[in-house]
Amino acid sequence: MKRKIDKQLDQSTEEKIKAAAYKLFTQKGYAGTRTRDIAEESGINLALLNYYFRSKEKLFDLIMADNMKQFMFGIFAITNDEKTSYEEKFTLIVNAYIDMLTIQPDMPIFVLSEIRYDPSGLIEKMQLDSTIMNSHMIKQLKQASDSGEIEEINPIHILMNILGLTIFPFIGSPLLKKIGGMEDAQFTAMMQERKKLIPAWIKEIIKKK
Amino acid sequence: MKRKIDKQLDQSTEEKIKAAAYKLFTQKGYAGTRTRDIAEESGINLALLNYYFRSKEKLFDLIMADNMKQFMFGIFAITNDEKTSYEEKFTLIVNAYIDMLTIQPDMPIFVLSEIRYDPSGLIEKMQLDSTIMNSHMIKQLKQASDSGEIEEINPIHILMNILGLTIFPFIGSPLLKKIGGMEDAQFTAMMQERKKLIPAWIKEIIKKK
DNA sequence: GTCTATATACGGATAGAC
DNA sequence: GTCTATCCGTATATAGAC
């Protein structure tokens, strides 16, 4: 007889498959991942993959949705928080991404690759436009701009800057490590430095001169 | 009889295959591209692909090397030019990338994905470390730092900033367009704006306060 | 050099026993 | 739920005629 606690100790078969699929899809993309590899990685039988998830594509859709949620959730929650200043939001966004991507460095390139190649228009189904462009942060920036506190600048530029400065180093990390002659530990240390540097840079950039 | 000028008018079969392979590999990656699609796209027979290039992988290696060269060549040439100031180099790098990526927006995510997934250690074969870290630009920055003109900062941070601010918007363009409710033309216009903005921001960031 | 036809292997998916 | 065995479509690659 299984006791309740077993559920936490050993993963269910379904969870094992999902975990393996998550790892492989994120690493090698949809086309580069074979269902046989997922089965082997999770230590289960190939037939069980179809038993639980019907098809490779259905399994992928689940993983992709998970990834997208993780990739976007932080920024949704942070930009809409009415209790923080826009400066604090910069710091919160940068910290959230750096902490997440330090653990999962493959995620952004996976998400952005699959969105880009996607033949089925995955991105069309999401309502991203309203959610971020109507966020509390955008209102704060508009107000700061109107009062002459910061430069007049398209908020999309600011978003590009925050995400570019924060996410790009992870996307380019193999190249950047090679160029800088860095080990993983050094790279991680640099990204920790950037938690302080990036918010300061962004403020500097938008400040009225 | 073929005249010399024909060589420019109609591509050779080999060139047609290469062009199609370039397009498809860059768009969909190695695993996502089928040799049949390359044949169809280039209007040639499938067997000719193997006749000219021996295998899919060999063809891919050619395309990849081309892409890498394009992706890195600008920065090599610019950072080592002894006739320009480091400020001018910022502008030249940003302009070169924005011009290139406006035409070939898929390139960076392709190159960086394939480098990341690469099982055969492609990146190890390149000597990137010495080429950029010993460049004229790095020396100029060190000198400016020693003389108190700019902040003391790891030049890798500066490289991350230039590339992140410039390249990331292209990598994330489908998402950013959706978020900002932009058409292609608007996005392109924004990137043209950034040709002026980014160099100014970088200078601002490193300036001694 | 270019084609048609085909060998060969691989990958996704299922049938059916346990 | 889980396994073995297998089907079947597809993808790379080649043989051989022209």
Which of B154, B163, B172 minimises the CB distance to A112? B172
More confident residue, A127 or B30: B30
- Rounded distance between C-alpha atoms, residue B176 and residue A128, angstroms: 9
Give B92 CA → D17 C1' in Å: 56
CB within 7 A of nucleic chain C:
A 33-36, 46-47, 50, 54-57; B 13-14, 44-48, 51
User: Rounded to an integer, what distance in angstroms lies between the CA atom of residue A148 and that of residue A9?
Assistant: 57
Contacts of B170 in chain A (CB under 8 A): none
Which tens digit of pLDDT belongs to each residue from A55-105?
999 999 999 999 999 999 889 999 999 999 999 999 999 999 999 999 999
Q: Measured between CB atoms, does B65 come within 8 Å of chain A? A: no
pLDDT at residue B125 greater than cutoff 50: yes
Q: What is the mean pLDDT of chain B?
A: 94
pTM: 0.95
Residue nearest to nucleotide C5 (CA to C1'): B47
Of the residues A179, A201, A207, the best mutation for testing chain B's interface (the one with the most B CB atoms within 10 Å of its CB) is A179
Q: Closest residue to C10 by CA to C1' distance? A: A34
Q: Which of residues 44-63 of B touch A (CB under 8 A)?
A: none
- CATH for A64-206 is 1.10.357
pLDDT digits (tens, 9 = 90+) for A5-50: 444 457 899 999 999 999 999 999 999 999 999 999 999 999 999 9
The per-residue pLDDT for B2 is 39
Touching B: A residues 112-171, CB under 8 Å: 112-113, 115-117, 123, 126, 128-129, 132-133, 154, 156-157, 159-161, 163-169, 171
Higher pLDDT, A2 or B23: B23
B10 CA vs C15 C1’ separation (Å): 54
Q: List the domain boundaries for chain B.
A: 1-54, 64-206
Tell me the one-letter amino acid at B64.
Answer: M
The CATH topology of domain B1-54 is: Arc Repressor Mutant, subunit A (1.10.10)
Nearest to B179 among A32, A129, A179 (CB): A129
Exposure string for B3-39, b = 16+ CB within 10 A, e = fewer? eeeeeeeeeebeebbbebbbbbbbebbbebbebebbb
**DSSP character for A193?**
H
Kindly give the interhelix angle for A13-32 and A35-42, rounded to the nearest 10 degrees. Answer: 140
Compute the distance between CA of residue B71 and CA of residue B136 in angstroms, rounded to an integer.
19
Query: Does pLDDT of A1 surpass 80?
Result: no
How far apart CA A195 and CA A91 sit, in angstroms, is 7
Record: contact A129-B181, CB cut-off 8 A: yes
> From the CA of B2, how many Å to the nearest CA of chain A?
40
Q: Which three-class secondary structure state does DSSP give residue A128? A: coil
Closest to A164 (Cα-Cα) out of B160, B201, B175, B105:
B160
What digits encode the pLDDT tens for the residues A97-146? Answer: 999 999 999 999 999 999 999 888 888 888 787 889 999 999 999 999 99
Whether residues B165 and A163 touch (CB distance < 8 A) is answered with no
Find the DSSP H helices in chain B: 6-9, 13-32, 35-42, 46-53, 56-79, 86-103, 107-117, 129-133, 136-146, 155-171, 173-180, 184-206
Cα–Cα distance, B154 to B206 (Å, whole number):
11
Tally of CB atoms within 10 A around B189: 12
pLDDT at B3: 39
Q: Which pLDDT value is given to residue B123?
A: 87
Per-residue model confidence as pLDDT tens digits over A141-174: 999 999 999 999 999 999 999 999 999 999 999 9
**Does B1 score more than 90 pLDDT?**
no
pLDDT of residue A9: 56
**Mind spelling out the 3-state secondary structure of A40-105?**
HHHCCCHHHHHHHHCCHHHHHHHHHHHHHHHHHHHHHHHHCCCCCCHHHHHHHHHHHHHHHHHHCC
Query: What is the mean pLDDT of the segment spanning B40-46?
Result: 97
Local confidence band at B120 (pLDDT 50, 70, 90 cut-offs): confident
